[in-house]
């Protein structure tokens, strides 16, 4: 045991670069917050932005049940996870949600058919937000 040094695992270079103090900005409650979200087969991710500068990142793997969801539902799940994570920042004013899933821009107009949709939509009540569609190439930060 003597002489054995335990070190933290090294972050991948891209994650380390995006998480450095030179990249992350400090939040300003007088400016608009933006969230970029993205989902793939087995992961979801989001980034909180202001003035196109990242403030915070979140993401993680999807569980076995969630991996069977449609792309629309996975992106919706990413929105919910991001809002749960950053709710204190988003309560005070309107914020923007950027997604590459075009059908989500009509989220407030959709009929809530399933109990899951009804349950998760209640997490968005009381928040002022606008969902903006952007092509896949515009959503590079959340992809990382």
Distance CA 100, CA 78 (A): 12
Number of C-beta neighbours around residue 1 at 10 A: 3
Residue 6 lies in a domain: no
Q: What is the CATH number of the domain that holds 79?
A: 3.30.420.10
Residue 11 lies in a domain: no
- The residue with tokens 């896949």 is 136
- pLDDT at residue 34, as a whole number: 94
Residue 94 lies in a domain: yes
Residue 67 lies in a domain: yes
Is residue 50 very low, low, confident or very high in pLDDT (cuts 50, 70, 90)? very high
Residue 15 lies in a domain: no
Residue 124 lies in a domain: yes
What's the pTM? 0.73
Strands, E assignment, the chain: 34-39, 43-50, 53-61, 95-99, 129-133
Residue 14 lies in a domain: no
pLDDT in tens, 71-115: 888 888 899 899 999 999 999 899 999 988 887 776 666 666 777
Residue 17 lies in a domain: no
Domain total in the chain: 1
Q: Which domain holds residue 124?
A: 25-143
């Amino acid at each position: 045991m003597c002489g054995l040094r335990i070190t933290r695992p090294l972050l991948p270079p891209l994650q380390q670069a995006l998480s450095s103090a030179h990249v992350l900005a400090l939040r300003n409650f007088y400016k608009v917050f933006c969230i970029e979200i993205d989902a793939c087969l087995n992961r979801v991710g989001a980034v909180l932005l202001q003035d196109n500068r990242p403030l915070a990142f979140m993401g993680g793997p999807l569980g076995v049940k969630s991996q069977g969801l449609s792309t629309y539902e996975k992106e919706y799940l990413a929105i919910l996870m991001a809002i749960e994570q950053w709710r204190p920042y988003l309560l005070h004013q309107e914020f923007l949600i950027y997604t590459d899933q075009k059908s989500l821009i009509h989220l407030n107009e959709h009929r809530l058919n399933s109990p899951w949709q009804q349950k998760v939509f209640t997490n968005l009540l009381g928040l002022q937000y606008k969902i903006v569609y952007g092509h896949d190439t515009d959503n590079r930060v959340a992809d990382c």
